[in-house]
Amino acid sequence: MKKVPTKREKGHNDRPVALVTGAGRRLGRQIALDLGANSFDLIVNFNKSARGAAETVERLRKRGASAHAIRADISKRGEVALMVQKAMEIFGRIDLLVNNSAVFIHSPLQKTTDRTWGRTIDINLKGTFLCSQAVAPEMLKRKGGRIVNIASLGGIQAWAQHLPYSVSKAGVIMLTRCLAKALAPEILVNAIAPGTIFMGAEEDPGQEHVPISTIPLKEYGKPSDVTDLVVFLSRASYITGQVFVVDGGRSIQ
Give a yes or no: residue 156 inside a domain.
yes
Confidence at residue 125, expressed as pLDDT on a 0 to 100 scale: 99
- Please determine, for residue 4, whether its predicted confidence score (pLDDT) is greater than 80: no
Q: Residue 157 falls within a domain, yes or no? A: yes
Question: Is 238 among the residues known to form the active site?
Answer: no
Q: What does the alpha-carbon distance between residue 143 and residue 93 come to, in Å, rounded to a whole number?
A: 11
Give me the percent of the chain exceeding a pLDDT of 90. 88
What letter represents residue 189's amino acid? V
Q: What is the helix, strand, coil percentage profile of the chain, to 5?
A: 45, 15, 40
pLDDT beyond 60 at 130: yes
* Active-site residue, selected from the candidate residues 49, 94, 165, 227: 165
pLDDT in tens, 60-108: 999 999 999 999 999 999 999 999 999 999 999 999 999 999 999 999 9
Structural domain contains residue 21: yes
**If pLDDT is split at 50, 70 and 90, which confidence band does 14 have?**
confident
Q: Which residues of 186-196 are buried (b: 16+ CB within 10 A; e: fewer)?
A: ebbbbbbbbbb
Note whether residue 235 is domain-resident: yes
Indicate if the pLDDT at residue 204 is higher than 70: no
Per-residue pLDDT of 147-169, as tens digits, reads 999 999 999 999 999 999 999 99
Of the candidates 100, 101, 102, 111, the one whose C-alpha atom is nearest the C-alpha of residue 163 is 111
- Each residue of 95-115: pLDDT tens digit? 999 999 999 999 999 999 999
The answer to whether position 74 is within a domain reads yes
Residue 205: which domain range? 17-252
Total count of domains within the chain: 1
Helix axes 77-91, 127-141, angle to 10 degrees: 30
Strand order in the sheet with 96-99: 67-71, 41-46, 17-20, 96-99, 145-150, 187-194, 243-246
pTM, rounded to two decimals: 0.93
Asked if residue 232 belongs to a domain, the reply is: yes
The CATH number for 100's domain is 3.40.50.720
Position 4 in a domain: no
pLDDT of residue 103: 96
Q: What is the percent of the chain where pLDDT is above 70?
A: 92
Question: Is residue 2, in this structure, part of any structural domain at all?
Answer: no
Neighbours of 5 (CB within 10 A): 15
Q: What is residue 207's predicted lDDT score, i.e. its pLDDT?
A: 60
Rounded distance between C-alpha atoms, residue 225 and residue 7, angstroms: 29
